[in-house]
Structure 1
Amino acid sequence: MAANTVKISSPHMSSLVSSPELDAAVKLAGEIRASGVAVTLVVHEHERLGRGIELAMLAEELKASDVGLGFLTGQLNGSHDPSGIVFTVLAAMSGMEREYFRDRTLEVHESARKGGKTIGGAGATDDDMLFTALRLRDEELSLRDIAALLVISKDAKKGQHPSPATVLRMLREHDEQVATAANA
């Protein structure tokens, strides 16, 4: 790696937005640049840094420090002047694209629910799983730990563990039912 390249490597994170790793890398890049060395912050793809306004805000911060920005893959592949109009437009479009996919996914899920289909792991849960999850939550275990201790007893995923998102959904639905019953 060249002496004037600051590398961010965080394979287990879907985004580095507001992360200590990103903050440290931006700070280090600014310090190196202040010493007179040209610096380009290089990441795998722009989505690691954020989308839309998040990416534009980071670009402004890098521009203020006179630090370049580069991406190894994705829509913004290559080096960019963080203040450039092309970069700004592409960053905004990536944010809009994410919102479009999110909205479209929600529409498809709502249509499936109206058609009587279950989404995600909702059909794989049962009362025994719920009671165990409630007990484990009372013991202050994380959703990930609770999911690792539960086992699906029916359907195609029999014998597998539910996802933390399924556990969260199951617990939220239970809490909503309890709150509704208490208010009735």
Structure 2
Amino acid sequence: MHEHKRLGRGLALAELAEQLRAAGVGLEFLTGELQGTHDPTRVVFTVLAALSGMEREYIRDRALQGHESARKNGKAIGGATVTDPAMLSMALHLRDQDLSLRKIAARLVITQGAKKGRHPSPATVMRMLRNHDERHLV
């Protein structure tokens, strides 16, 4: 394993450590602060889980501060919009035909910006449809 961070964070890491310990498996980290061979004992991985969780919170807090600062300066947060009303209309039509998100995405084409001419991802189609549905709930 390259770094302990790649194993997981918080409770997921603690649960994995318990499973490894029960199976008699050791770990060797190739890089990072814990480089070397380790026995996945509860104490070591409990500390790792706590530190990883704290690091994740720190990163999250810094990102939120950056977003807030950008908003105060009038900057948009997030990527460029690739959907438009025509794409939504076509996606709704295709969804009514019971097509999967993957098939819907393959039939749609982005008409603007750097991704012009490409297909949106199924995740983008899902968000577009979900946002539409949420706005039109009765």
TM > 0.5: yes
TM-score bucket (shorter structure): 0.7 to 0.9
SS of the aligned residue for 1:70 comes to: strand
1:117 to 32, 56, 76: 76
Alignment-mate amino acid for residue 49 of structure 2: A
Conserved in 1, the CA contact under 8 Å of 2:28 and 2:37? yes
Q: Which residue of 2 aligns with 1:162?
A: 120
What TM-score, normalized by structure 2, do the two folds share? 0.73
What is the aligned length? 136
Conserved in 1, the CA contact under 8 Å of 2:27 and 2:38? yes
In 2, distance between residues paired with 1:163 and 1:106? 26
Which has the bigger relative contact order, CA under 8 A and spacing at least 6?
A: 2
In 2, distance between residues paired with 1:97 and 1:81? 23
Alignment-mate amino acid for residue 63 of structure 2: T
2:87 to 116, 122, 129: 129
Q: Which residue of 2 aligns with 1:22?
A: none
1:79 to 11, 16, 37: 37
Residue identity over aligned pairs, in percent, reads 64
After TM superposition, list the pairs within 5 Å mapping 1:1-184 onto structure 2.
43-83=1-41, 85-109=43-67, 112=70, 115=74, 117=76, 119-121=78-80, 123-138=81-96, 139-142=98-101, 144-179=102-137, 182=138
Render the CA deviation track for 1:52-89: whole Å, top value 9, x for unaligned: 22111111122123221233344543321111634432
Greater alpha carbon shift after TM alignment, 94-103 vs 165-174: 94-103
What TM-score, normalized by structure 1, do the two folds share? 0.58
> RMSD value over aligned CA atoms?
2.9
Which runs of 5 or more residues in structure 1 are unaligned?
1-42
Q: Which residue of 2 aligns with 1:32?
A: none
